[in-house]
Amino acid sequence: MIKTETLSKKRSGPVLFSEYKQGEGVKKALELGRENILFELKSSGLKGRGGAGFPTATKWMLTAASNSDKKFIVCNADEGEPGTFKDRVLLLEYPELVFDGMIIAGYTIGAKNGILYLRGEYEYMLKSLEDYLELLRMDNLLGENIFAGKDFTFDITIRLGSGAYVCGEETALIESLEGYRGEPRNRPPYPVNTGFLGHPTVVNNVETLASVPHILIKGGDWFRTHGTDKSTGSKLFSISGDCKKPGVYELPWGTSINELLNLVEAKNTKAVQVGGASGICLPKSQFNRVLGYEDAATGGSIMIFNESRNMLKILKNFMEFFVEESCGQCTPCRIGNIKLLEGVERIEKDDFTFSYINNLKELGRTMQAASKCGLGQSSPNSFISILDNFKDEIFGAKRKGEKNV
């Protein structure tokens, strides 16, 4: 077994941050065999941890069912959502979970190649991850006949991004891997059928893959004991903003925002942005909502804003982000985001009418429905939720008809 893990693990949590020995999950996977792995995964109810929440077992099954001779498993480590940094922690402190997850995925779907797409901003991790892979090769966790598993050959390569948030979208990521602009593809066909270089490809978030070894060892039913009916298991939350203890926390799904705020010792909280810049912004009155796919869904980003913050400025920061990070291929996202930003600027300058603002909100709804990928579909979320939930702060005086504000 590998004894290179030097980082002392101070973290603790029900699933990911619990005890794990390198290779344990892979060993178990080989014992279980493909069908049982898929069974455990299905009964665990694990859903994609990047934010979209697609059932992982289904994704794997679709790819496993394809009889293509070449398949790929891609680990999406293009963590670019503002306020998200859980993958950073996993890759730095728990690489064994991520890589074991990839190996198991490769075994299950019948892929010989795994690719870790690491965002360019995380280049500083590259060396240590590469070294780690080398050790895995030495221990026969990568390479040919892994753990004496007959015909199971698998290796992992790491590819770097180059500063493009949109590459976190799975098809944009694949385009980027293929050497094109990171522009999302038309779907269908989906990557499970036509992915990297046209081959069936599973693209999973770092956290999703890291959950798999634990699920196999302790069973899908055990995983279900955490979380809620619709959101099983636990989740890593990246907590930042106005609080005493920002950082990554592993909590079961179903935790309420209030509980979370207490945990990180946030005071005078005015607003919580759930799901990053592309998520929704909740006011105090909604802090009793729970985190989960059925209520406040998130890829893990929680940003806390206290009473001193200017919501319009926050919104402007988000919109500037999207204007820069939109890939620019589809109309709603390319032009829509700049229109929403323009709207924010006009509110700032007090140069607007309410019908104009309502038109922009309607435009936002069109962007949600008609944009090509998740970026444009979710970028209006903060615009709509901040303007709706913080009306008083933003338009307060105006709405009451006061002059000279």
Partner 1 sequence: MSKREYERIPVSQQAHVVSKPKDLTAIGGMVSVQINEKKITVPLGTTILEACQLNQIHIPTLCHHPDLCIAGVCRVCVVEVEKMRTLQTACSFPITSPIKINTSTQMVRKARRHIIDLLLSEHYGECYSCFRNGNCELQNLAKEFGVDNYTFGHVKTQRYEVDSSSAAVIRDMNKCVLCKRCVRTCIDLQEVGVLEAVKRGHETHVGTFLDKPLAEVICINCGQCINRCPTSALRANDPSDEIWAAIDNPKKHVVIQTAPSPRAAIGEEFGKEAGKSFTGELNTALRRIGFDRVFDTNFTADLTIMEEGTELLTRLKKAIVEKDESVKLPQFTSCSPGWVKYIEHFYPEFLDYLSSAKSPQQMFGALIKTFYAQEAKIDPADIVTVALMPCAAKKFECNRPEMCDSGFKDVDYGLTTREMAKMIREAGIYLPEMPKSHFDDPFGDASGAGLIFGATGGVMEAALRTAYELVTGREVPFENLVIEPCRGFEGVKQASVKLENCVEQYKFLEGVDLKFVVAHGTANAKIVMEMLKKGELNDVHFVEIMACPGGCLGGGGQPIPTSNVIREKRAQAIYEEEASLPIRKSHENPHVNYVYEKFLTDGPCGKLSHKLLHTHYVKRGKYIS
Partner 2 sequence: MLVLEKNALSEEIENLVGEFGKDRSALLQILQAIQGKHKYISDFAQQEVARMMDIHPVEVNSIVSFYAFLYSEPKGRYIVRLCQTISCDMSGKEEVAEAVQRELGISFGQTTKDKRITLEFTNCLGMCDQGPAMLVNEKVYTKLDPETAVNILSEIK
- Which of partner 1, partner 2, none does residue 7 bind to, with CB < 5 to 8 Å depending on kind? none
- Which of partner 2, partner 1, none does residue 242 bind to, with CB < 5 to 8 Å depending on kind? partner 2
368 binds partner 1 (CB under 8 A): yes
Site string for partner 1, 22-41 (x = CB under 8 A): --------------------
325 binds partner 2 (CB under 8 A): yes
139 binds partner 2 (CB under 8 A): no
159 binds partner 2 (CB under 8 A): yes
Q: Considering only residues 50, 83, 233, 336, which one is a binding residue for partner 1 as defined by CB under 8 A?
A: 336
Question: Is 180 or 354 the residue whose CB approaches partner 1 more closely?
Answer: 180
- Report long-range pairs for 288-291 (Cβ below 8 Å, ≥24 apart): 288/256, 288/257, 288/258, 289/256, 289/257, 290/228, 290/253, 290/254, 290/255, 290/256, 290/257, 291/231, 291/235, 291/237, 291/251, 291/253, 291/254, 291/255, 291/256, 291/257, 291/260
188 binds partner 2 (CB under 8 A): no
Label each residue of the chain as H, E or C.
CCCCCCCCCCCCCCCCCCCCCCCHHHHHHHHHCHHHHHHHHHHHCCECCCCCCCEHHHHHHHHHHCCCCCCEEEEEECCCCCCCCHHHHHHHHCHHHHHHHHHHHHHHHCCCEEEEEECHHHHHHHHHHHHHHHHHHHCCCCECCHHHCCCCCEEEEEEECCCCHHHHCHHHHHHHHCCCCCCCCCCCCCCCCCCHHHCCEEEEEHHHHHHHHHHHHHCHHHHHCCECCCCECEEEEEEEECCCCCEEEEEECCCEHHHHHHHCCCCCEEEEEECHHHCEEEEHHHCCCEECCCCECCCCEEEEEECCCCHHHHHHHHHHHHHHHCCCCCHHHHHHHHHHHHHHHHHHCCCCCHHHHHHHHHHHHHHHHHCCCHHHHHCHHHHHHHHHHCHHHHHHHHHCCCCCC
Is the distance from CB of 171 to CB of 38 less than 8 angstroms? no
Q: Considering only residues 2, 32, 92, 338, which one is a binding residue for partner 1 as defined by CB under 8 A?
A: 338
Is the distance from CB of 114 to CB of 155 less than 8 angstroms? yes
CB of 168 to partner 2, least distance (A): 11
Question: Is 108 or 337 the residue whose CB approaches partner 2 more closely?
Answer: 337
CB of 155 to partner 2, least distance (A): 16
342 binds partner 1 (CB under 8 A): yes
289 binds partner 1 (CB under 8 A): no
324 binds partner 2 (CB under 8 A): yes
CB neighbours (10 Å) of residue 172? 26
Q: Considering only residues 169, 207, 242, 250, which one is a binding residue for partner 2 as defined by CB under 8 A?
A: 242
Question: Is 110 or 336 the residue whose CB approaches partner 1 more closely?
Answer: 336
CB of 322 to partner 1, least distance (A): 8
74 binds partner 2 (CB under 8 A): no
241 binds partner 2 (CB under 8 A): yes
Q: Considering only residues 22, 56, 205, 238, which one is a binding residue for partner 2 as defined by CB under 8 A?
A: 238
303 binds partner 2 (CB under 8 A): yes
356 binds partner 2 (CB under 8 A): no
Q: Considering only residues 19, 69, 151, 324, which one is a binding residue for partner 1 as defined by CB under 8 A?
A: 324
80 binds partner 2 (CB under 8 A): yes
314 binds partner 2 (CB under 8 A): yes
d(C-alpha 57, C-alpha 105), whole Å: 10
Q: Considering only residues 31, 35, 123, 130, which one is a binding residue for partner 2 as defined by CB under 8 A?
A: 123
358 binds partner 1 (CB under 8 A): no
- Which of partner 1, partner 2, none does residue 186 bind to, with CB < 5 to 8 Å depending on kind? partner 1
81 binds partner 2 (CB under 8 A): yes
357 binds partner 1 (CB under 8 A): no
Question: Quick one: which segment of 85-93, 105-113, 144-152, 324-332 binds partner 1 (CB under 8 A)?
Answer: 324-332
**Residues near partner 2 (CB under 8 A):** 79-85, 87-88, 119-124, 126, 159-165, 176-182, 197, 238-242, 246-248, 277, 303, 305, 309, 314, 317-318, 321, 324-325, 327
